[in-house]
């Protein structure tokens, strides 16, 4: 069992939890993920490592409440335990040799982008962060990004905070103003990463994306997370989750992500029924 040390609401739909998991904390690197099960009957879900404290033996996860399991997870509080918590899984984000980078985060993807930005900043790279949210009340980690970015642009779809518009708009403005990036790292919804890649392709900027397909085991034994990169089948859990964004078949990934949509809606309903009974 893995004890929840603390819990913090970042916005009404996004929660941060610090979990006691010394094995994971000892090894985790930005870009890697964990798989957890909330309880004995739970499903396995992947969540990215948002932070770690090697001394304290704790790992930070940040999740958005999108369905049955994340709802169940959000019902847990500090002091409660999670049934299973395994990792770190996947390959760490490559940061070597990068001198100037644009980090683009969308929504809860910012929780994954932040540790990467922090690491690059610590390694001495010039970090420009562009973070996008639907509206002001969904904003997360602004101070954290400020602390590790040489430049920070906050975008909201409705203009309720920062600049109005999508992240690609801000990125294109920076590129056009003459900023020369070694690499763009984009993490967020598939559609956002797809548009970032279309843009950077135009300017021929090396772009890495963090993919988030459906996973079961997370150790390379099932291929449920497979996606097509450069025409070749890859398993995101062991070959990724980071890939060359210009090679990823995003349309296929989006269709695969929707595979269990009807089941997921029903599972949410079932969970709700249980709550009412209790």
Partner 1 sequence: MPNMRPDKNPMPSQAPDVRNKNFLEVALGYDAETAIDEAKRCLHCKNKPCTSGCPVQIDIPAFIAQVAEGNFEEAYQIIAKSSSLPAVCGRVCPQETQCEGKCVRGIKNEPVGIGRLERFVADYHNAHSTEKPQRPASNGHKVAVVGSGPSGLTCAGDLAKKGYDVTIFEALHLAGGVLVYGIPEFRLPKAIVQKEIDGLKDLGVKVDTNVVIGKSLTVDELMQEEGFEAVFIGSGAGLPRFMNIPGESLNGVYSANEFLTRVNLMKAYKEGSATPIEHAKNVAVVGGGNVAMDAARCAKRLGAENVYIVYRRSREELPARAEEVEHAEEEGIIFKLLSNPVEILGDDDFLVKGIKCMEMELGEPDASGRRRPVPKPDCTFTLDVDCVIMSIGTSPNPLIKSTTKGLEVNSHGGIIVDEHEMTTKEGVYAGGDAVTGAATVILAMGAGKKAAASIDAYIQAKSSK
Annotated binding site: 62-64, 222, 225, 237
With beta carbons less than 8 A apart as the criterion, state whether 109 and 140 touch: no
Q: Which of 198, 216, 247, 268 binds partner 1 (CB under 8 A)?
A: 216
CA distance 212 to 236: 8
Helices 167-176 & 190-203 angle (0-180, nearest 10): 20
Q: Binding to partner 1 by residue 233, rule CB under 8 A?
A: yes
Q: Binding to partner 1 by residue 237, rule CB under 8 A?
A: no
With contacts defined by CB under 8 A, name the span among 20-28, 116-124, 126-134, 162-170 that binds partner 1.
Answer: 20-28
Q: Binding to partner 1 by residue 252, rule CB under 8 A?
A: yes
Q: Binding to partner 1 by residue 227, rule CB under 8 A?
A: yes
The H or E element containing residue 262 is: helix 261-277
Q: Binding to partner 1 by residue 247, rule CB under 8 A?
A: no
Nearest CA to 212 among 75, 72, 31, 78? 31
Q: Which CB, 189 or 224, lies closer to partner 1?
A: 224
Query: Rounded to 5, what percent of the chain is helix, strand, coil?
Result: 35, 30, 35
With beta carbons less than 8 A apart as the criterion, state whether 155 and 133 touch: yes
Q: Binding to partner 1 by residue 173, rule CB under 8 A?
A: no
CA distance 11 to 258: 25
Q: Binding to partner 1 by residue 83, rule CB under 8 A?
A: yes
Q: Binding to partner 1 by residue 142, rule CB under 8 A?
A: no
Q: Which of 56, 75, 147, 221 binds partner 1 (CB under 8 A)?
A: 221
Q: Residues interacting with partner 1, by CB under 8 A?
A: 23-24, 27, 37, 41-44, 68-69, 83-89, 216-217, 219-224, 226-228, 233, 238, 252, 255-256, 258-260, 263-264, 267, 270
């Amino acid at each position: 069992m893995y004890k929840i040390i603390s819990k913090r609401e970042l916005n009404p739909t996004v929660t941060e939890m610090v979990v006691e998991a010394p094995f994971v904390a000892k090894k985790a690197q930005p870009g890697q993920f964990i798989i957890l099960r909330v309880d004995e009957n739970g499903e396995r879900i992947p969540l990215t490592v948002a932070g770690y404290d090697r001394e304290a033996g704790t790992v930070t996860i940040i999740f958005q409440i999108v369905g049955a399991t994340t709802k169940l997870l959000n019902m847990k509080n500090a002091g409660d335990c999670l049934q299973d918590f395994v990792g770190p899984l996947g390959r760490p984000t490559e940061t070597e040799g990068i001198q100037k980078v644009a980090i683009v985060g969308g929504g809860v993807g910012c929780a994954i982008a932040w540790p990467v930005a922090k690491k690059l900043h610590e390694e001495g790279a010039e970090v420009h962060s562009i973070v996008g949210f639907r509206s002001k009340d969904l904003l997360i980690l602004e101070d954290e990004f400020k602390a590790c970015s040489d430049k920070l642009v906050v975008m909201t779809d409705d203009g309720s905070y920062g600049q109005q518009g999508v992240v690609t708009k801000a990125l294109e403005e920076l590129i056009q103003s003459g900023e020369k990036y070694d690499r763009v790292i984009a993490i967020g919804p598939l559609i956002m990463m797809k548009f970032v890649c279309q843009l950077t392709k135009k300017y021929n900027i090396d772009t890495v994306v963090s993919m988030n397909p459906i996973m079961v085991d997370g150790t390379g034994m099932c291929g449920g997370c497979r996606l097509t990169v450069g025409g070749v089948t890859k398993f995101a859990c062991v070959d990724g989750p980071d890939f060359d964004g210009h090679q990823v078949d995003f349309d296929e990934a989006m269709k695969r992500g929707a595979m269990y949509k009807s089941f997921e809606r029903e599972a949410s309903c079932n969970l709700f029924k249980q709550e009412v009974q209790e």
